[in-house]
Amino acid sequence: MERNEAKENGGINLKNWNIRRAQIIVTYDCNMNCPFCINYKLGKKRKGFIKVSDVVYFLQYLKYVEKLEDAIIVFLGGEPTLLPIESLKEISDIAHNMGYKTEFYTNGTLKEKILELDGYIDFITFSNYGKGILPFDNMDYLYDFKKSTITISKLITKQFFKTFEDFDRFVDEANKLPFNYDFSTIQETTPDFELYQPDWVESKLIPLCENQDVRGNVGAALYKGRLIKLPHVHLQRKEDICTLKLYPNGNLNTSWKNDNMEIEYKEIINELLKKNI
Ligand code: SF4
């Protein structure tokens, strides 16, 4: 079957794309209300959960694109654990059955549900928006996970780390924990970026390699062995940069800025099914 022509792929030329992570935003809903949340612009008024049937279409589309043999399907929100636990397990099972690994980002507040996903999701990443070394107080349950790989991801803001020395001390504490620990800075597209970005980031966190730069931006830094995603980060190589996003409304897009349909993936799959390919 001919492929890789922009027309055939719903308007996007996928040639040379080497997608490693595809994202499924399972809901905009969240039980927190962080001021820097990207949903503030995109989805605050939107409600609802992703349909399993849309996930199936999407994963079939990824197979059609044929670039994702070792890909990770990342479930994001909002807060994904607001979905019924059966739905989370079901979409993770579907992804596994199609040969993908799964990852899941959570704010960590719904302990019982998250623990139940141990082993169903390959990688569980806890966003640390609190002041402490763990995402919140009372999160010792992180030590109870037996199967999933646990990562804590801390956001660098001037509210948490006023000075570089504050950050340095925190990294020393993080390095004592038995979990993966990484850091990211607020993305430049976030509303009120300047309110959150500490002054010291640019002078102290030196990008690993300017050659990783895409679209004129820089990549990531390493500090005391910890990965730090910088503003406008693209960790992937140039041909990897396209990260597809399936939105709760069933639309497929490559941007965080809107959830309009950019790729007519269902039409493509329906055509293939009609032709029995
Ligand atoms: S926990 Fe995450 S999704 Fe929820 S409001 Fe905060 S940043 Fe947004």
The model carries a pTM of 0.84
Q: Are 233 and 226 within 8 A, CB to CB? A: no
Q: Is 108 in the pocket of ligand 1 (CB under 6 A)?
A: no
Ligand 1 atom closest to Cα of 31?
4
> 21 C-alpha vs ligand 1 centroid, how far in Å?
20
Q: Is 30 in the pocket of ligand 1 (CB under 6 A)?
A: yes
HEC letters along 97-156:
HCCCEEEEEECCCCHHHHHHCECCECEEEEEECCCCCCCCCCCHHHHHCCCCEEEEEEEE
Q: Tell whether the model's pLDDT for residue 240 goes beyond 80.
A: no
Q: Are 83 and 76 within 8 A, CB to CB? A: no
d(CA 84, CA 13) in angstroms, rounded, equals 36
Q: Tell whether the model's pLDDT for residue 226 goes beyond 90.
A: no
> 62 C-alpha vs ligand 1 centroid, how far in Å?
27
- Give the residue extent of every domain in the chain: 21-206+237-274
d(CA 150, CA 143) in angstroms, rounded, equals 9
- Residues 105-129: tens digit of each pLDDT: 999 999 999 999 999 999 999 999 8
Q: What is the CA radius of gyration of the chain?
A: 19
Please report the DSSP string for 162-198 in residue order.
SSHHHHHHHHHHHTTSSSEEEEEEPPTTSTTHHHHS-
> 65 C-alpha vs ligand 1 centroid, how far in Å?
31
CATH code of domain 21-206+237-274: 3.20.20.70
Mutate to test the pocket of ligand 1, among 39, 152, 157 (most ligand atoms within 8 A of CB): 39
Q: Angle at the Cα of 148 (from 144 to 152), degrees rounded to 5?
A: 75
d(CA 66, CA 58) in angstroms, rounded, equals 13
Q: Is 52 in the pocket of ligand 1 (CB under 6 A)?
A: no
Q: Are 75 and 106 within 8 A, CB to CB? A: no
- Residues 74-101: tens digit of each pLDDT: 999 889 999 999 999 999 999 999 999 9
Q: Tell whether the model's pLDDT for residue 15 goes beyond 60.
A: no
CA atoms within 13 A on the CB side of 68: 28
Nearest-CA residue for ligand 1 atom 8 is 37
- Residues 125-159: tens digit of each pLDDT: 999 987 788 888 788 999 999 999 999 999 999 98
Q: Are 75 and 271 within 8 A, CB to CB? A: no
Q: Tell whether the model's pLDDT for residue 212 goes beyond 60.
A: no
> 97 C-alpha vs ligand 1 centroid, how far in Å?
29
> 271 C-alpha vs ligand 1 centroid, how far in Å?
37
Amino acid at the residue 133? I
Cross-strand bridge partners of residue 223 = 226
Q: Is 191 in the pocket of ligand 1 (CB under 6 A)?
A: no
